[in-house]
Amino acid sequence: MARRKPIFVKIVPEQKTAYSTSCQICNLYDAIFECNMCKKITCLKHTITTKLGGRYCHECVNDNTKFIYIQAIMNADRKAVLPGKLMQKILTCISLEWTRKKKVEPIFC
């Protein structure tokens, strides 16, 4: 009886990730935030927060493909806030609302 040739099979063990409260970027500090793009848990030191509450990690901000989208969101936050405040101040000055001590309610018939 002839002996068969062996068949080599490469067995790759599964990468198990442990659930912890440490930052997934530096592994030093306790993580309290989650990145909106890559869903990594990050600490306060490695998190960038926008005005409307969007949180992004340093890896996403430094990545050129993801930074384009983050920058567009940050620019949209700025545009939404500034014209609204300026328009409200202009309307207040035109209506002379600042000269009145109390707000005047319109009378409906």
Query: Does the pLDDT at position 14 exceed 80?
Result: no
Residue 75 lies in a domain: yes
Residue 71 lies in a domain: yes
- Name which of 18, 41, 45, 43 is nearest 30 in CA terms: 43
Residue 68 lies in a domain: yes
Neighbours of 31 (CB within 10 A): 20
The count of residues in the chain is 109
Residue 87 lies in a domain: yes
Residue 65 lies in a domain: yes
Residue 22 lies in a domain: no
For 18-77, write each residue's pLDDT tens digit.
567 788 888 888 888 899 999 889 988 889 888 777 899 999 999 888 888 888 888 876
- DSSP-derived secondary structure letter, 52: T
Structural domain boundaries, residue 70: 33-98
Query: Does the pLDDT at position 84 exceed 60?
Result: yes
Residue 55 lies in a domain: yes
Q: How many domains does the chain have?
A: 1
pLDDT at residue 56, rounded to an integer? 92
For 87-101, write each residue's pLDDT tens digit.
777 877 787 766 666
